[in-house]
Amino acid sequence: MDKFNVELAATIGRVKLKNPVLVAAGTFGYGEEYAKYVDLNKLGGLIAKTITLKPRKGNPPPRLTETPAGLLNSIGLENSGIDSFIEKNLPFLHNLKTALIVSIAGENEEDYLRLADRLGKEKCIHALEVNVSCPNVNSGSKMIGEEPELVFSLTRRLKEVSGLPFFIKLSAQIGRMVELSQAAREAGAEAVSLINSIPAMAIDVDKMCPKLGNVVGGLSGPAIRAIAVKIVWEVHSKVDIPIIGMGGIMSLEDALEFVLAGASAVAVGTANFIDPQVSLKIIDELEHYLYEKKIRSFSELVGKLKTGG
Amino acid sequence: MDKFNVELAATIGRVKLKNPVLVAAGTFGYGEEYAKYVDLNKLGGLIAKTITLKPRKGNPPPRLTETPAGLLNSIGLENSGIDSFIEKNLPFLHNLKTALIVSIAGENEEDYLRLADRLGKEKCIHALEVNVSCPNVNSGSKMIGEEPELVFSLTRRLKEVSGLPFFIKLSAQIGRMVELSQAAREAGAEAVSLINSIPAMAIDVDKMCPKLGNVVGGLSGPAIRAIAVKIVWEVHSKVDIPIIGMGGIMSLEDALEFVLAGASAVAVGTANFIDPQVSLKIIDELEHYLYEKKIRSFSELVGKLKTGG
Amino acid sequence: MLHQQKIFSPAAENIRVKVLSNRCIKPGHFRLAFRVPVSFPEAVPGQFVHIKVGEGPVPLLRRPFSISNYTPGKIQIIYAVVGQGTKILSHAKRGDYLDMLGPAGKGFCICEEAKTHLLIGGGMGAAPLVFLARKILKKVKKDSSISVFLGFKTKQEIILKEEFAKNSIIGLQIATEDGSFGYRGLVSELFEDYLKKISSTSKFSIYACGPLQMLKTVARLSFDYDIFSQVSMEEIICCGVGACRGCVIKGTAGYMRVCQEGPVFDAKKISWS
Amino acid sequence: MLHQQKIFSPAAENIRVKVLSNRCIKPGHFRLAFRVPVSFPEAVPGQFVHIKVGEGPVPLLRRPFSISNYTPGKIQIIYAVVGQGTKILSHAKRGDYLDMLGPAGKGFCICEEAKTHLLIGGGMGAAPLVFLARKILKKVKKDSSISVFLGFKTKQEIILKEEFAKNSIIGLQIATEDGSFGYRGLVSELFEDYLKKISSTSKFSIYACGPLQMLKTVARLSFDYDIFSQVSMEEIICCGVGACRGCVIKGTAGYMRVCQEGPVFDAKKISWS
Ligand SMILES: Cc1cc2nc3c(=O)[nH]c(=O)nc-3n(C[C@H](O)[C@H](O)[C@H](O)COP(=O)(O)OP(=O)(O)OC[C@H]3O[C@@H](n4cnc5c(N)ncnc54)[C@H](O)[C@@H]3O)c2cc1C
Ligand SMILES: Cc1cc2nc3c(=O)[nH]c(=O)nc-3n(C[C@H](O)[C@H](O)[C@H](O)COP(=O)(O)OP(=O)(O)OC[C@H]3O[C@@H](n4cnc5c(N)ncnc54)[C@H](O)[C@@H]3O)c2cc1C
Ligand SMILES: Cc1cc2nc3c(=O)[nH]c(=O)nc-3n(C[C@H](O)[C@H](O)[C@H](O)COP(=O)(O)O)c2cc1C
Ligand SMILES: Cc1cc2nc3c(=O)[nH]c(=O)nc-3n(C[C@H](O)[C@H](O)[C@H](O)COP(=O)(O)O)c2cc1C
Ligand code: FES
Ligand code: FES
């Protein structure tokens, strides 16, 4: 075989990534925390932890518990708010030589619009991930991510305030992922991020109380992978929108499941906690894999699942 | 402490169980297969594998694959149909000294009604579990278990054809478990069975094809437990209907999570494959647990989760 | 062609068994022996035991292994380390306890009328054939012969050669894909070459265990030469008792459970396409 | 009361380390030593290492252990087997490799002006105090004293007694809940009794590690007697680098991360109610 260069670049609508491996929102802080363990510039991109307009103190501890092959968290979007983000975190992120995607969340449409407006003015941001599915915020009312009409309306209006590409992040808690993704597409979203952690709960049977201070949390990690892959495949089959796939990716093999199912890029979440370098390892192995399989470009793999019929 | 007798009996509406541990539909065949490994009469009850009007050959193999802490199956309701069930399986089940619950599924409302009508005439059946959420049947159209109105209408009509108690079995694939359970309650269902396996999928990245012949399957086992417990707790908090809790129960501790969250009884599924005697062990340990905690009656535990607020 | 006989499936048990030994017979390959009650049902070659490896939820399911020898009170299996489950099993030590369910499934039926018994094994498929050969030697008349054909990728992967070779009644031929030992090529090709040289195949009986592709070829040959053949099939085994219907393969008359109607099937009953 | 000093947190690494030994020091308790590069940042008592135990997804997270000794090129931890993760760790053998992240978090600051160093440990909380005592001995002036108070459930559970006892400068007192050794009662009661007999607590400094209830009492006593006190807190540690915000505890000025602002905190900064 002739030696050839493998093309790792990935495309999510208007967003070009040097490779398809991102780190997922909330699992990599604002990059800086991991800077001494990982060469951040090698990542396909970094999705910064969700920020809100005002500071949020997050949920009462305990915020974490393990379940079989899973992690249950109820961080509750603890963050210092957008002003602090722009002042303290953005300068560091600004210097990174990789795609920066910032995750935003609000209590209502206006919050999201103001966040997008502010962030739209920052040069170094490549896209915004719109978190409409955090299982850890009990606002009482319905989440935007539960209703296709709300997703449509929010996305439409976001596009009016900012030219940035928007990724709409949805969760498996709703059996309507196709409808929701369709709404995102019709309103002009660049992509959908699938999936957020799944609402779940664990109980300390000795103390007869919930293991998490917030009672309910979001389940992530290998336990949810098969559920996430199914959602990615279903949305890819039925909706014409790029997908960023995530949920339990621990290895190249796991990442490829998402890609074959239809994800144009993947994000590594929980696995960062176990091995901060896991994303770089996946990128390395992906290059070898493509070379050995004689596939010239990563993008050829996207959605290449053979389903017989 | 005075010695006292622990009361294990459980109540699901009109159905009385000698203890709260059942075996879940599809994971224990028709009892006979396990008879040489387990004293079936000690079970709280047996939910027989789902039967349909006509024989079904089920989905093409492979039908099983493992995921981290989970089992993905696409059996596809293989069964010999109701005539065969009544002729070949019921005589054996008839002699059991424990509650017999028969799971039924149909392609439409009429199927369910005819099944209920036929089975309503059999003396030895204590209740019917109405499977409206099997993730392995691609009928093309919407599943009854996806729409509260359909659940309501089906349950209503079932109650007209038979005096048997009905348990409506729902799945986590829908984020509307509360609405659906409410519909079941309003139509007079005896209970809801929560949860069926969750739609999921795994890919063989070497062959670039799905690991299951049916592409999609249902995820069960410890991986889904935290998701199931959350659903049970949510439905118990918001809907006044008895719940049979299931999803990843492998031990007494797991079973108690469901009970504290609000399940009046539990069903052991996937764990039977790993240890056929696991249900009997859980029953034994439950008795000891109650004794040590000085709880006189199992039913005192149901929904006893302390959530602070 | 001989008639198929009723394949024997005695009662099974689900018990804790004590490991007697677990020896590495070559890199990545182990022979594990464990004690069973003397009252334990007599196992038939081709049947399997279903073993819980490890304690945690990963791997979740039991793992099936063909019985490679049975004597009252003792069962032996031979296995290759291919994944997490077999890796954990390889750490079992003498004196450890394992949770075992078995003997499960239907084994090979030994055709007593047959004069020439042909055993074909690919890779780990050799494991149950050791037990089978021993049984045939015991059961059948002196004037009948046993020929064993084994196939491996390379010389390094050959297992159980000595077990067969030490019995002079058994004719043993080995194929390696790279030709590093014996016949160069697939064991099914070796077997076909053998059949081609035979004038009459009456009173022949075929027993095969190995990869699907090998079994396919052996089955086709058995049809061509009109020899009764039994093949041992693989699928993921879940309950192992016939309850879950997860282990089915396609048969000419519908799906059949590997753990119940099999793992050994009359080759004619399988849908090979 | 002495002023709190800046708690020192050097750079950390995420590396594969080689196990030097992993000895059972008493049933269910192990001392594990592993090699680190000589260039490895100097660890401070109270800091922890975050270790990946096992390969599979169960247990999923790393496990945190206080450093119980550091010498250039070598780190030691002492741990109790309490669940699956520590059970797996107990199987590590000399020569095995572990994936380690550390030294993580902020350690104890040794109050150089203090004359009387009071170390209080409950159960496994004794582990980092060995390292701390060694450091104090090195750093502080000859005229200062160290008193160590350890508490255990019963005599059988006592650990690290010899490590402290062998140094005559250290005053060691032990409490057991059942009175099977030393003082009968909780270590916090033993400590309270001690304080009651003291006329002046000026230039005292408290360092405590152990169960929450013990730390609570120690903190209250430190407030009552106006002694600067540092406590080592526990929460489930996930990332261990301050990114996930999963390990927070309630402080007087909001949530604080155990892995970043802690595990050692000025007792005054913690919301004890
Ligand atoms: C009836 C039968 C008899 C067998 N006899 C032997 C034998 O004598 N010696 C031997 O080395 N192997 C035998 N096998 C294969 C053996 O069961 C698998 O190699 C083993 O289960 C792999 O487990 P793992 O966790 O190490 O590998 P995994 O990482 O789980 O998988 C490796 C491979 O094994 C297959 N496998 C996994 N779980 C099962 C399961 N529950 N049932 C069947 N296949 C599975 C997978 O599809 C995969 O291809 C037999 C299989 C069957 C069905
Ligand atoms: C900063 C810090 C230092 C520690 N130092 C020591 C030490 O020197 N020696 C020692 O024996 N133990 C120490 N521990 C406790 C030790 O981390 C736990 O005992 C261990 O993680 C239990 O793992 P397991 O899988 O065996 O038990 P599990 O079955 O997982 O749990 C047993 C108990 O350990 C707790 N635990 C589980 N995972 C974690 C985690 N990631 N972080 C914190 N707690 C957890 C659980 O809440 C539970 O109460 C320390 C904990 C912290 C936070
Ligand atoms: C501790 C933790 C914090 C998270 N915080 C966020 C967040 O702030 N915003 C968000 O959109 N998703 C958040 N997530 C979800 C992840 O981005 C990801 O969607 C999910 O965990 C599934 O991927 P994984 O299984 O690889 O972790 C968080 C997940 C974890 C485990
Ligand atoms: C192999 C298999 C077959 C199943 N078949 C049925 C079925 O026929 N009808 C049904 O209602 N549920 C069926 N289920 C779902 C179980 O009854 C149960 O709801 C689910 O597996 C969750 O419980 P578990 O995690 O304990 O297995 C099946 C599950 C498995 C694993
Ligand atoms: S494994 Fe369950 S039927 Fe064969
Ligand atoms: S463990 Fe992640 S912030 Fe402390």
Measured between beta carbons, the chain B residues lying within 8 angstroms of C101 are 37, 276
Top residue of C212, C245, C258 to mutate, by most chain B CBs within 10 Å, is: C245
Whether B124 sits among the annotated catalytic residues: the reply is no
Query: What's the CA gap between D113 and D103, in Å, rounded?
Result: 26
pLDDT > 70: what percent of chain A?
96
Calculate mean pLDDT across residues D130-150.
88
pTM metric for this prediction: 0.95
Q: Are C144 and C116 in contact (CB under 8 A)?
A: yes
CA of C235 to the centre of ligand 1 (A): 8
Q: What is the pLDDT of residues A34-54, one digit of tens each?
A: 998 999 999 999 999 999 999
- Check residues A37 and B221 and name the one with the higher pLDDT: B221
Measured between beta carbons, the chain A residues lying within 8 angstroms of C56 are 68
* pLDDT of the residue at D2: 41
- pLDDT at residue B46 is higher than 90: yes
Is the CB of residue B246 below 6 angstroms from any atom belonging to ligand 4?
Answer: yes
* Helix A148-161 / helix A177-186 crossing angle, nearest 10 deg: 30
pLDDT bin (cut points 50, 70, 90) of residue A138 is low
- pLDDT at residue D99 is higher than 90: yes
Edge-to-edge strand list for the sheet holding C63-66: C63-66, C48-52, C97-104, C13-26, C29-35, C74-80, C69-71
Top residue of C53, C61, C237, C244 to mutate, by most chain B CBs within 10 Å, is: C244
* Torsion angle of the four alpha carbons B95, B96, B100, B105, in this order, in degrees rounded to the nearest 10: -60
* pLDDT of the residue at A174: 74
Query: What's the CA gap between D210 and D119, in Å, rounded?
Result: 11
Q: What is the pLDDT of residues C66-96, one digit of tens each?
A: 999 999 999 999 999 999 999 999 999 999 9
Q: What is the pLDDT of residues C117-175, one digit of tens each?
A: 999 999 999 999 999 999 998 887 677 889 999 999 999 999 999 988 888 788 899 99
pLDDT bin (cut points 50, 70, 90) of residue D5 is very low
Q: What is the pLDDT of residues D154-179, one digit of tens each?
A: 999 999 999 888 887 888 999 999 99
Calculate mean pLDDT across residues D57-81.
95
Rounded to 5°, the CA angle A117-A121-A123 comes to 140
Measured between beta carbons, the chain D residues lying within 8 angstroms of C56 are 56, 58, 84
Write down which chains contact chain B via at least 3 CB pairs under 8 A.
Answer: A, C, D
Instruction: Give the one of A69, A253, A306 whose C-beta lies nearest to B223's C-beta.
Output: A69
Instruction: Give the one of B33, B37, B61 whose C-beta lies nearest to C248's C-beta.
Output: B61
- Six token digits for residue A68: 């079989």
Is the CB of residue C211 below 6 angstroms from any atom belonging to ligand 5?
Answer: no
Query: What's the CA gap between B243 and B236, in Å, rounded?
Result: 7
- pLDDT at residue C4 is higher than 60: no
pLDDT bin (cut points 50, 70, 90) of residue D11 is low
Measured between beta carbons, the chain D residues lying within 8 angstroms of C57 are 58
Considering only CA atoms, which of C112, C55, C51, C111 is closest in space to residue C86? Answer: C51
Cβ of D11 under 8 Å from any chain B Cβ?
A: no
- pLDDT at residue B141 is higher than 70: no
* pLDDT of the residue at A35: 92
Measured between beta carbons, the chain A residues lying within 8 angstroms of D52 are 274-275
Cβ of B69 under 8 Å from any chain D Cβ?
A: yes
Is the CB of residue B232 below 6 angstroms from any atom belonging to ligand 4?
Answer: no
Cβ of C233 under 8 Å from any chain B Cβ?
A: no
Of the candidates B43, B72, B134, B267, the residue annotated as catalytic is: B134
- pLDDT at residue A301 is higher than 90: yes
Is the CB of residue C76 below 6 angstroms from any atom belonging to ligand 1?
Answer: no
Contact B277 C14 (CB under 8 A): yes
Calculate mean pLDDT across residues B116-121.
94
Top residue of A27, A46, A66, A251 to mutate, by most chain D CBs within 10 Å, is: A66
Is the CB of residue B252 below 6 angstroms from any atom belonging to ligand 4?
Answer: no
Residue B216, min C-alpha distance to chain D (Å) = 23
Query: What's the CA gap between C78 and C101, in Å, rounded?
Result: 17
Write down which chains contact chain C via at least 3 CB pairs under 8 A.
Answer: A, B, D
* pLDDT of the residue at C1: 38
Contact B200 A304 (CB under 8 A): no
- pLDDT at residue A208 is higher than 90: yes
Residue B253, min C-alpha distance to chain D (Å) = 15
pLDDT bin (cut points 50, 70, 90) of residue C257 is very high
* pLDDT of the residue at C2: 41
CB contacts under 8 A, D 29-58 vs C, are 56-58
Calculate mean pLDDT across residues A212-222.
96
In the numeric block, the tokens 């079932």 are attached to B158
Distances (CA, A) of A108 to A141, A183, A205, B175, C19: 10, 18, 37, 21, 63
Locate the chain D residue with the closest alpha carbon to A278: D14
Measured between beta carbons, the chain A residues lying within 8 angstroms of B219 are 226-227
> Rg for chain A (alpha carbons), in Å?
18
Q: Are A21 and A266 in contact (CB under 8 A)?
A: yes
Residues 6+ apart with CB under 8 A from C236: B62, B64, B65, B66, C61, C246, C247
Is the CB of residue D107 below 6 angstroms from any atom belonging to ligand 2?
Answer: no
pLDDT bin (cut points 50, 70, 90) of residue B115 is very high
Question: Which residue's C-alpha comes closest to atom 46 of ligand 1?
Answer: C236
From the CA of A76, the nearest ligand is: 3
CA of D102 to the centre of ligand 6 (A): 13
Cβ of A226 under 8 Å from any chain B Cβ?
A: yes
Distances (CA, A) of D166 to B106, D24, D31, D120, D171: 77, 20, 18, 18, 10
* pLDDT of the residue at C112: 84
CA of C82 to the centre of ligand 4 (A): 29
pLDDT bin (cut points 50, 70, 90) of residue B178 is very high
Calculate mean pLDDT across residues D258-267.
97
Calculate mean pLDDT across residues B27-37.
94
Question: Which residue's C-alpha comes closest to atom 36 of ligand 1?
Answer: C236
Query: What's the CA gap between B103 and B86, in Å, rounded?
Result: 13
* pLDDT of the residue at B3: 64
For the four alpha carbons of A14, A16, A20 and A26, in that order, the dihedral sign comes to: negative
User: In terms of DSSP bridges, do strands D13-26 and D29-35 run parallel, antiparallel, or are they unpaired?
Assistant: antiparallel
Write down which chains contact chain A via at least 3 CB pairs under 8 A.
Answer: B, C, D
Measured between beta carbons, the chain C residues lying within 8 angstroms of D57 are 58
CA B213 and chain centroid, separation: 25
Partners of C171 in the beta sheet?
C147
Ligand 1 mutation target, pool C53, C65, C106, C150, most atoms within 8 A of CB: C65
> Which helix (H) or strand (E) segment is D70 a member of?
strand D69-71
Query: What's the CA gap between B6 and D142, in Å, rounded?
Result: 65
* Count of beta carbons in the 10 Å neighbourhood of residue C262: 27
- pLDDT at residue B1 is higher than 60: no
Instruction: Give the one of B70, B248, B306 whose C-beta lies nearest to A208's C-beta.
Output: B306
* Count of beta carbons in the 10 Å neighbourhood of residue D173: 18
Cβ of B142 under 8 Å from any chain A Cβ?
A: no
Of A294-298, C68-72, D14-18, least confident by mean pLDDT is D14-18
Partners of A285 in the beta sheet?
none
Cβ of B271 under 8 Å from any chain A Cβ?
A: no
pLDDT > 90: what percent of chain B?
89
* pLDDT of the residue at C106: 96
Contact B33 C52 (CB under 8 A): no
Task: Give the atom of ligand 6 at the shortest distance from the alpha carbon of D247.
Answer: 4
- Check residues C271 and C111 and name the one with the higher pLDDT: C271
* pLDDT of the residue at C131: 95
- pLDDT at residue C9 is higher than 90: no
From the CA of B266, the nearest ligand is: 4
Locate the chain A residue with the closest alpha carbon to D60: A69
